[in-house]
Amino acid sequence: VGKLYSIGVDIGGSKTAALFVDEDGEMLAESSFPTDSGDGYEGFLKRLLEVLERAFAGGTKPAGIGIAAAAQVSRSGNGILDAPNLCFSHVPVCADVEKAVGVPACIENDVNAAALGEYSVRDNPREPFLAVFVGTGVGAGIIVDGRIYHGFGGYAGEIGHIPVEPLGAVCGCGARGCLEAYAGGVGIGRRAAAAVGYGRAPILADLLGVALVSALNLLAPGTLVLGGGVLDAYPNMAEVAGAYAKSEALPLIAADLIVERSSLGPRAAALGAAKLVASKRSA
């Protein structure tokens, strides 16, 4: 068994998970607790610090702590900005953790972290590496040269807001016809209800496939990974969408594309967060 090297923390809407890994990225242990126990950020921080301090009780402190959050995060890496899915927002969680435990902490959006996690468990993954996650929301992470590609302002990978139906359903972002309005966890409920009304089957996999074609033709990735809670629960949807995308993308782009399912499932973001520590240190 290796020595504790880094800790990846995944702050989700209902649950926060901590993953303890060694130098080789092998998982040593994991722990989780409810994100919201009705006591806000103070209570959350207290529970998180308890988990971290228990891990340090053996005497070893890690090189760093990576935090993934279902939130917009500060590009300077200090904390959580807007977080509609969390019970707190605008909190300097990295600074608070660093101050309390004396270990450097960094933060990343959970989808980007999950993409890094999926990337890190593959041998020589082909790049660009595109990982698309369909859960409550729909998002993608892009890895280039072993690092998360953020785009100019930090918001690359918003595949959930690629329109798939002109003048379609209004999305949470305010635009019409976004993929996320149909294929995310929230959209699926609405879509299923509409399908019953119109007497036709939901075509979620098709809409996801259509958005994937756009992403593939623009980015020409070497690897496409499909994951997230919805696709893990409905593997057929991933199969259909992946096959559609590969057959409809430009043949020269599709020819060398590897399409795979997520191999980490719900642990992807926490493992990616743990990997973030090593990638920051080598930067």
Spatial contact of 8 and 274, defined as CB atoms under 8 Å apart:
yes
Q: How far is the CB of 175 from Zn ion (least distance, A)?
A: 5
For residue 222, give both structure tokens: 């070497």
Q: How far is the CB of 159 from Zn ion (least distance, A)?
A: 10
Secondary element (H or E) of residue 106: strand 105-109
Q: How far is the CB of 133 from Zn ion (least distance, A)?
A: 16
Q: What is the DSSP letter of 149?
A: -
Q: How far is the CB of 248 from Zn ion (least distance, A)?
A: 22
Kindly give the residue spans of alpha helices, DSSP state H, lying in 57-184. 93-101, 110-120, 180-183
CA distance 127 to 277: 21
Q: How far is the CB of 72 from Zn ion (least distance, A)?
A: 15
Q: Give 240: exposed, middle or buried? Use CB within 10 Å, 0-12, 13-18, 19+.
A: middle
Secondary element (H or E) of residue 5: strand 4-11
Kindly give the residue spans of alpha helices, DSSP state H, lying in 156-267. 180-183, 185-198, 204-219, 229-233, 235-248, 251-254
Nearer to Zn ion, 30 or 158 (CB): 158
Nearest Cα to Cα of residue 269 among 32, 90, 11: 11
Rounded (10°) CA dihedral 108, 221, 160, 77? 10
Nearer to Zn ion, 29 or 173 (CB): 173
Nearer to Zn ion, 153 or 251 (CB): 153
Q: How far is the CB of 208 from Zn ion (least distance, A)?
A: 14
Nearer to Zn ion, 183 or 268 (CB): 183
Nearer to Zn ion, 31 or 85 (CB): 85
Nearer to Zn ion, 9 or 188 (CB): 188
Q: Which residues bind Zn ion (CB under 5 A)?
A: 161, 171, 173, 175, 178
